[in-house]
Amino acid sequence: MKNIPFVSLEHQNALIKKELEADILDTVQSNYFILGDKLKKFETEYAAYSNTSQCIGVGNGFDALKLSLLALGIKKGDEVIAPAHTFIATILAIMDVGATPILVDVHPETYTIDYHQVEAKISTRTKAIIVVHIYGNPCEMDQICSIAEKNDLFVIEDNAQAHGALYKGQKTGSFGVLNATSFYPAKNLGCFGDGGAITTDQKALQEYLLMYRNYGSSKKYFSDVSGCNSRLDEIQAGILSIKLKYLDKWNSERRKMASEYKKYLDPGVKTQHIDTNSISVYHLFTIECDKRNELQEFLITEGINTQIHYPVPPHLQKACSKLGYKKGDLPITEKLSNTLLSLPLYIGLTTLDIQFVSEKINYFYKKNNLLD
């Protein structure tokens, strides 16, 4: 029987195995592991790639979000607007600095924050809007940025799922005053452990963040601000520099795979809408199905592994109970949590695999009268 994993890094890593091994060995032999030349090199390269002047490597995506909020002085008593349909890290980072996340439902077709609903949620305490380019699909940044400007709010991008995506030809991760990203292994740009970064055009914020990530210290053993330890290490930075060279090629392969899914899936199978202003990098390829759990079970019997992003939305998680939301408050997000299914999509997945997965899904939809 076939066995198609949901995600596999095997093929991608095999393509550049020699380069990666040589670089890791080089770091090991240099005996220099923290805050060295490889990090500086990657920061320069990733800033250039993102079309920003600065990049600060940090320990993970959560810290990238949290440190961005701290650098902007966001604290207890402040409110931060964020999309309800996101990975929980976005919301926990806001709570971690003591601020209150104000959740806005997402658009039912694009799954990104519904900007029409943002202004009604702005209060005198609102300091920032965090947008999430969910599954690699850019948010409507023109509208978001103009709402932010009009109301004197910071924009922070959570770009963890969208390295290389474009909105009106401009890279995501370059619109916000600060932009947070993650290099978790399975992201479009991933390292071999935890990693993250912040991009910005503001030199003063970069300087603050360089200190903050390293115990508030710009000079060894002298701490100017009460910072933390959140550093991107040399081994990860070296790996990321290598993978960054292939990112555009891999992203275009992901787009090709997504277009193959759209070609082979019955037109009645609903997929994420990508606006004509946007170029997605398809971190995930999702379909909406009213019998989602049964479909997932059926696909397992055919050797096809899928995942659910996300089975419980942040506002209904126990961890967020103090925010006081209840079922029904964010209907689109709640519907997506019951209907979305993420299909296999990774470098090395073949056209034949995509045809096979699509045929099985089409069969399930027909058998269950799900096509209208």
Ligand X SMILES: *Cc1c(COP(=O)(O)O)cnc(C)c1O
Q: Is residue 342 at the binding interface for ligand X, with CB under 6 A as the rule?
A: no
Q: Is 90 in the site for ligand X (CB under 6 A)?
A: yes
The angle subtended at Cα 109 by Cα 107 and Cα 110, nearest 5°, is 70
Residue 62 or 282 with smaller CB distance to ligand X: 62
**The two structure tokens encoding residue 183:** 């290099």
Residue 87 interacts with ligand X (CB under 6 A)?
yes
Q: Is 62 in the site for ligand X (CB under 6 A)?
A: yes
Cα dihedral 253, 14, 246, 249 in deg (nearest 10) = -20
Contact between 314 and ligand X by CB under 6 A: the answer reads no
**Binding of residue 182 to ligand X (CB under 6 A):** yes
**CA-based nearest residue to 1, from 303, 298, 297:** 303
Quickly list H helices, 173-233: 203-212
- Kindly indicate which of the ranges 87-95, 144-152, 202-210, 271-279 contains the residues binding ligand X, using the contact rule CB under 6 A: 87-95
Furthest-apart CA atoms within the chain: distance in Å: 68
Give the residue among 283, 51, 74, 279 at the shortest CA–CA distance from 179: 51
Closest C-alpha among 283, 343, 271 to residue 137: 283
Binding residue count for ligand X, defined by CB under 6 A: 15
Scan for tokens 């990530």, then name that residue.
Answer: 213
Give the CA angle between residues 176, 179, 183 to the nearest 5°.
155
Considering only residues 185 to 214 of the shown chain, the ones binding ligand X according to CB under 6 A are 194, 196
Nearer to ligand X, 188 or 306 (CB): 188
Contact between 60 and ligand X (CB under 6 A)? yes
Closer Cβ to ligand X, 161 or 358, answer by number: 161
233 touches ligand X (CB under 6 A): no
Stretch that binds ligand X, among 28-36, 58-66, 74-82, 292-300 (CB under 6 A): 58-66
Compare residues 114 and 260 and give the one whose CB is closer to ligand X. Answer: 114
Helices 61-71 & 203-212 angle (0-180, nearest 10): 120
Closest CA to 116 of 125, 104, 126: 104
Binding flag, residue 184, ligand X (CB under 6 A): yes
Q: How far is the CB of 182 from ligand X (least distance, A)?
A: 3
d(CA 44, CA 50): 10
Residue 89, interface with ligand X (CB under 6 A)? yes
Q: Provide the mask over 135-164, with x wherever binding to ligand X is found by CB under 6 A and - wherever it is not.
A: -----------------------x-xx---
The reply to whether 61 sits near ligand X by the rule CB under 6 A is yes
**Sites of contact with ligand X (CB under 6 A):** 60-62, 86-87, 89-90, 132, 158, 160-161, 182, 184, 194, 196
